Structure 1
Amino acid sequence: MDGAQKNTVDELLKSFLSDKGFSRTQDIMNNEYYLKELEPNMIHRIPENYFIAFYGTPAKDSIWGWKFSGHHIALNFTVVDNQLASTPIFYGVYPAEIKEGKNKGRRIIKDEEDLGFELINMLTAEQQSKAIFQSKSFNDIVTTNAIQVGPLDPVGILAKDLTYQQKSVLNKLIASHLSSMPSEIAEMRMKRIVSEDFNKIRFGWAGGLMAGIPHYYRIQGRTFLVEFDNTTHHANHIHIVWRDFNGDFGVDLLKEHYKNSTHHHKNRH
């Protein structure tokens, strides 16, 4: 792409992400420079080694979508009847924390880890016995890059078994995973999560309870799944993902569109 085209991609990302989401995306891309120093033999470590793909024709009354992807980034957007689906959304970062040099201490993905630690460590021993479903972390997010996912095993502690203060931290943790999305989308998702019965959300943990020890958690509700993993490279390599069981890639919006489409019904006869 030439300079003008790259600027257009940036503007497109800005229009589909929050300010935090755009900054995070840029930071992860620019982190490829640092990875190039760490891994000089990896010739593909360049910030421009990312891809954009469009599906359908972008237009006000059109059904269309687009994807932006590359190392540690996979963003998916689908537009149906002027409604936006913004999952799956995946981010990763290595190193999760830079340990030396001029950028020592930098953490591109921070809140999702800190709030996770805050929640698991504020639980009582009895609560932790429910929340921690295995002592060893996974090597990666469980759903990997599956096109379609369903609910995982119902492990962890139910939100109804948390105190008011603990629920507040869980709410903040969920919000941190929504923070890359535009505020109106994040607010809509949070309202839907609450309306689905917040008390039935499960928070499950695997692995260590402090930084530097491999750890993993998941948050699962009736319609969504969040996974966080920091296991490899001595627990300094993060992957996070948000999945909607019925809404990834706009599946729920498309079903509703075709259900209500006069043209679609005519073609069935």
Structure 2
Amino acid sequence: MTEELASAMAAAARAWLDMLTADQRAIAVGPMPSAEASDAERRRWFYTPTDHGGLTLHQQRPAQQRAAMRLVASGLSRPGFVTVATTMGLENVLDHTEGFVARFDRERGRDPGLYYLRVFGDPAPGGTWGWRFGGHHVSLNNLVVGGAVAATTPCFMGADPASSELLGGAVNRPLGRVEDLARTLVKSLDPRVAVLSPKAPSDFVTANRTTVATGNRVIPLAGIWRDERFPDPAEQAKLQALSDAIDAAAGYTESDHSALEYTAVPKGVAGAAMSPDQREVLRALLDTYFGRVPAAVAPSYDDAALDAVHFAWAGPTEPGAPHYYRVQGPRLLLEWDNTQRNANHAHSVWRDPENDFGLDVLATHRRDHH
């Protein structure tokens, strides 16, 4: 099944690349994936409104954009694609929220056309190649090795605003279940074990690091950008001030960071210690992450694997308060935070600490075939 999916991805990638001019292809194509230093660019990922690397939708004609989105859709389930498309559209809502002002040293700071697509290597049938799509609050990373999908993480989806009004009193919450299921679970667990801190961190503990490692702590917002500084000193000062304000609002001390820092040994409540009802909520929560990708590549956790999955929370548990949670287990790390903009700015990521970007598979492939 993963071979069929890889074939569909490759066909979509070739169709998109065939529509591009030589100048566009120079931006849209990167080096072949490998376990070497030449692959460093593919392993860089972001979720801020920075340059994610690749050809933007703005740089493409409508027919090219359609082909680009067909490739993006090939790596997502229908709900996953709808969520990504909604997140991209929220850039217009965020622009409205902020008063339609220019930001980040560019003509339009909140921009639904500023999403980047890049193919790494040659998407030939049976080959080894990858693709990445990203922009503000979206980061999708896919690797094909030997004609089979080998990795789909890191997989990031966010929403700002996380909750916004619709006509007739309806509410738009693209990641609502990702938040609500976790809150239901934590409220049913012993807070002495499940809640690591009464205060939520300002963002993910592992941030956008290429690899996850023991001791990882929150990186300030200003550090999660492609370039170290904006050319315009005034824009850089604005970003730094925003970053400082977010950290100040979190109010994290050394002991707080220590309580939340990433460790190889999971923190929180293990699935083995949960009741059947709690385990069902945990499974449903996992599905809000695994269900982002096609069924052929979605992980499956049996009862034994679920025993080793741990859930931990930080911050108050009532709706509307800044909060964070982490789900950690074999080949699994999920992080969620909704702390910024008065807890109406959500981030969620699914990672495989052993095989993000397919590094483990690539190393094995290189050993066995070279």
TM-score (normalizing by structure 2): 0.66
**Structure 1 equivalent of residue 197 of structure 2:** 134
Alpha-carbon separation, structure 2, partners of 1:22 and 1:16: 9
Alpha carbons 1:21, 1:179 under 8 Å: kept: yes
C-alpha change, 1:150 and 1:175, in structure 2 (3 Å) is farther
**Structure 2 equivalent of residue 29 of structure 1:** 88
**Pairwise CA distance, 1:104:** 5.4
**Structure 1 equivalent of residue 181 of structure 2:** 115
Alpha-carbon separation, structure 2, partners of 1:155 and 1:90: 22
Alpha-carbon separation, structure 1, partners of 2:364 and 2:354: 12
- Residues 187-266 of structure 1: pairs in structure 2 closer than 5 A: 189-190=299-300, 193-194=301-302, 197-261=305-369, 264=370
Amino acid at match of 2:273: D
Alpha-carbon separation, structure 2, partners of 1:72 and 1:5: 22
2:256 pairs with 1:144: no
C-alpha change, 1:194 and 1:73, in structure 2 (3 Å) is same
SS in 2 for 1:197: helix
Equivalent of 2:139 in 74, 92, 97: 74
Unmatched 5+ stretches in structure 2: 1-59, 103-107, 215-261
Q: Provide Cα deviations, 1:35-82, integer angstroms capped at 9, x if missing partner.
A: 111121132222111111111111112211111011111110110012
Aligned residues: 255
2:294 pairs with 1:182: yes
Q: Provide Cα deviations, 1:179-223, integer angstroms capped at 9, x if missing partner.
A: 11111211xx12xx4377321211001001121101110000022
Equivalent of 1:96 in 148, 162, 173: 162
SS in 2 for 1:143: coil
**Structure 2 equivalent of residue 267 of structure 1:** none
Structure 1 stretch 145-154 or stretch 43-52: which is displaced more? 145-154
Alpha carbons 1:196, 1:222 under 8 Å: kept: no
Unmatched 5+ stretches in structure 1: 265-269
Task: Give 4+ residue runs of structure 1 displaced > 6 Å after superposition.
Answer: 100-103
Alpha-carbon separation, structure 1, partners of 2:335 and 2:142: 19
- % identity of equivalent residues: 35
Alpha carbons 1:215, 1:229 under 8 Å: kept: yes
Alpha carbons 1:138, 1:206 under 8 Å: kept: yes
**Structure 1 equivalent of residue 130 of structure 2:** 65
Alpha carbons 2:166, 2:172 under 8 Å: kept: no
Equivalent of 1:162 in 270, 274, 277: 274
Structure 1 stretch 40-49 or stretch 11-20: which is displaced more? 40-49
Alpha-carbon separation, structure 1, partners of 2:169 and 2:95: 15
Alpha-carbon separation, structure 1, partners of 2:160 and 2:303: 36
**Pairwise CA distance, 1:150:** 3.3
C-alpha change, 1:102 and 1:3, in structure 2 (3 Å) is farther
**Structure 1 equivalent of residue 66 of structure 2:** 7
Alpha-carbon separation, structure 2, partners of 1:17 and 1:146: 23
Alpha carbons 1:230, 1:236 under 8 Å: kept: yes
Alpha-carbon separation, structure 1, partners of 2:306 and 2:168: 43
Alpha-carbon separation, structure 1, partners of 2:203 and 2:211: 17
| Alpha-carbon RMSD | 1.7
Q: Provide Cα deviations, 1:221-255, integer angstroms capped at 9, x if missing partner.
A: 02210001011111111000111111111112212
**Pairwise CA distance, 1:101:** 6.6
Q: Provide Cα deviations, 1:136-174, integer angstroms capped at 9, x if missing partner.
A: 001001111101113623321111111011011101101
C-alpha change, 1:251 and 1:35, in structure 2 (3 Å) is same
C-alpha change, 1:176 and 1:46, in structure 2 (3 Å) is same
Amino acid at match of 1:145: N
Alpha-carbon separation, structure 1, partners of 2:362 and 2:72: 23
